[in-house]
Structure 1
Amino acid sequence: MTTEKQTSYLIVTDIAFPDVIVKTHHGNVHFKSLIQDKRIIVYTNPSELIPDSESKANELVNALRKLKKLNYHLIGFNRNSFEEHLKSLNWLNSYLSEDLVFPVFYQPQNNVKECLEKNLGEKITLKSPIYLLDKNGCTRMILDGSHSASENLETMLEQASKLVLADQSFGKNQSLRDS
């Protein structure tokens, strides 16, 4: 008998994602202005995604393409050292094609987690949370990102697909062709 792999995640609906200030090339910007009307995945330590082999690099590229097809945008918040942040940015910008490059911001204070915990009324005990946001900027799901990068990518794709399907409104008199 085989058992289904258990994914540790916390489903959260309608909890607004914090509007933290992020530093861009154009100056400081409110995060909400960057994510308006987009499905977003916030990966809290994208430097972990940097592959150490060609096969893992291909897995990353394939996963990013699948996320694009689901109309999800990946955004990273590096929490570790600034040197690690620069290393991940350099790799992403030099290896990935232009359509797959995603923004990565340096957030050592982890303001996002603190603000969400205040709104949730409970602690987020996950070491590396991955946040899935809907088009309204609300946190729909928080995943445990402390697994290997390939497991995280697989889980993100699986849960993003489920959220896209859950957002579909199939009315009683509406055919699939009409949607």
Structure 2
Amino acid sequence: MKTKKQISSSLVMNIAFPDVLVKTHHGNVHLRSLIRDKRIIVFTNPSEMIPLREEERKGLIQSLKKLKKLNFHLIGFNKNSFDEHLRSVNWINSYLSDDLVFPVFYQPTNEVTSCLEKNYGEKIRVKNPVFFLNKNGCTQLVLEGIRKGADPLKPIVEQASRLVLSEQPLQQNRSPRDS
């Protein structure tokens, strides 16, 4: 009997996400003020999620809608060139509907990962990590970055669903048919 392959998470941790300073249209803001009381998924290189084909774009949009339904908010940190950052921000703002657009910040020094490594006490060895944050702003889980394909966010949506289910309280003395 074969079992379904589980998403391999690289790290499970419960440490505060760094309160880095980010530049917005309203000036410099501390990240913690943007993520307070929200479930957040942080992409460290969202430019990799830009689809090349129409099929990939449809898959990406479906996944973003599922993440919204699960009440997750997205934030991106581009760490490569500024040109790549502009290209990804322009794509996000041009091809996604307003309700699916998410903020992407330019962070060439990769301050987020280095701060987390300092607090975690270990090097984060995944390429382009994706961080799942709870409502307290703590990192719950770190996954390998986005994979190319028709639906590059599918593993991230699956993990977000698992996290939401794990937060549901189990009610004692109720049978499934009572639901």
Assess same fold via TM > 0.5: yes
Aligned residues of 1:75 and 1:102 also touching (Cα < 8 A): yes
2: CA distance, partners of 1:131 / 1:149:
20
Q: Structure 1 residues 174, 135: CA separation in 2 closer, same or farther (over 3 Å shift)? A: farther
Deviation at 1:10, TM superposition (A): 2.8
How many Å separate the matches in 1 of 2:146 and 2:90? 23
Residue type matched to 1:161 in 2? Answer: S
The equivalent residue for 1:144 is 144
Contact 1:16 1:138 in 2 (8 A): yes
Cα 1:170/1:66, change in 2 over 3 Å: same
Query: For residues 115 and 95 of structure 1, what CA distance do their matches in structure 2 show?
Result: 33
Alignment partner, residue 74 of structure 2: 74
Contact persistence 1:127–1:146 (CA under 8 A): no
Amino acid at match of 1:136: N
Identity across matched positions, percent = 62
TM-score normalised by length of structure 2: 0.91
TM-score, structure 1 normalization: 0.91
Verify: 1:23 aligned to 2:19, yes or no.
no
The residue type equivalent to 1:38 in the other structure is K
Q: What is the match of residue 4 of structure 1? A: 4
Superposition pairs of residues 19-168 of structure 1, within 5 angstroms: 19-145=19-145, 147-148=147-148, 150=150, 152-168=152-168
Distance 1:39 1:69 in 2: 12
Instruction: Give the CA deviation at 1:13.
Output: 3.6
Aligned-residue Cα RMSD (Å) equals: 2.0
How far apart, CA to CA, are the structure 2 residues paired with 1:155 and 1:99?
22
Q: Distance in 2 between matches of 1:17 and 1:107?
A: 15
Q: Is the 8 A contact 1:48 1:149 kept in 2?
A: no
Between the aligned partners of 2:11 and 2:175, the Cα distance in structure 1 is 29
For 2:149 and 2:43, locate their aligned partners in 1 and report how far apart those are by CA, in whole Å: 11
The gaps in structure 1 that reach 5 residues or longer are: none
Code of the residue aligned with 1:166 in structure 2: it is S
CA distance in 2, matches of 1:126, 1:150: 22
Deviation per residue, 1:8-41 (Å, 9 max, x gap) = 3134242111111111111110000001111000
In structure 2, give the amino acid aligned to 1:65.
K
* CA-to-aligned-CA distance 1:102-143 (integer Å, 9 cap, x gap): 100001111111111111111101121000011111100000
Task: Specify every segment of 5 or more residues in structure 2 that has no aligned partner in the other structure, as ranges.
Answer: none
